[in-house]
Chains A and B, each alone.
Chain A
Amino acid sequence: DTEVTQTPKHLVMGMTNKKSLKCEQHMGHRAMYWYKQKAKKPPELMFVYSYEKLSINESVPSRFSPECPNSSLLNLHLHALQPEDSALYLCASSQDSLTGGDSTDTQYFGPGTRLTVL
């Protein structure tokens, strides 16, 4: 099973809402990632989890709060977002996490959650 799943596929939320994005993988990977992708732009790294611990935070605003409950799950909690946060949010996983971001292993991406903030 080389699949990374993400839910929901689409999400529309107001600026005062609280919502969560979920990501799951069953490949035994120990590194998991959140990326944000705007239209016609490359993915931008947000967070890296290595062995369930946050190893990289790319100066992401606190209205985005990641959580890794176990080695298969990764959540992104959203609160008080702005319209400019509307984007495709991609989750990825990879085998090697010992170097916490210096991984030489291939990343497997989920299909993403298309987020619209009104």
Chain B
Amino acid sequence: GQNIDQPTEMTATEGAIVQINCTYQTSGFNGLFWYQQHAGEAPTFLSYNVLDGLEEKGRFSSFLSRSKGYSYLLLKELQMKDSASYLCAVKLFFGTGTRLTVIP
């Protein structure tokens, strides 16, 4: 079975940093994806981690610890357009999703 958990909602201030956590217990693991989904739109790819450690890509970074079944997505210098749902995914199955609201 697949059990992938995220906080349901988060709020952060424009210009700040926010960390969105994802814990997983899955039958098998071959990497973890992070997607962004704006309301009414399709998910778009943000990052992929298969080895432990931090992957940095501009304002977004993603971290993975396979031994702990844990990942996080770090968003820096938040902008209003970052208000969206953030989904982690393992083996084609998505986590519960985190709705991030960025406030002025």
Which chain B positions have C-beta within 8 A of A90?
Answer: 42-43
| A106 to B42 CA separation, bound complex (whole angstroms) | 14
Nearest Cβ in chain B — how far from A31, in angstroms? 10
Report if A1 contacts B (CB, 8 A). Answer: no
| Chain A interface bracket (under 10, 10 to 19, 20 to 34, 35 or more) | 20 to 34
A101 and B91 contact, CB distance less than 8 A: yes
| A110 to B83 CA separation, bound complex (whole angstroms) | 20
| A108 to B88 CA separation, bound complex (whole angstroms) | 15
A42 and B96 contact, CB distance less than 8 A: yes
Which chain A positions have C-beta within 8 A of B93?
Answer: 45
Q: Which B positions have Cβ atoms within 8 angstroms of A?
A: 28, 30-31, 33, 41-45, 48, 50, 87, 91-97, 99
Q: Which A positions have Cβ atoms within 8 angstroms of B?
A: 4, 33, 40-45, 48, 56, 90, 101-104, 106-112
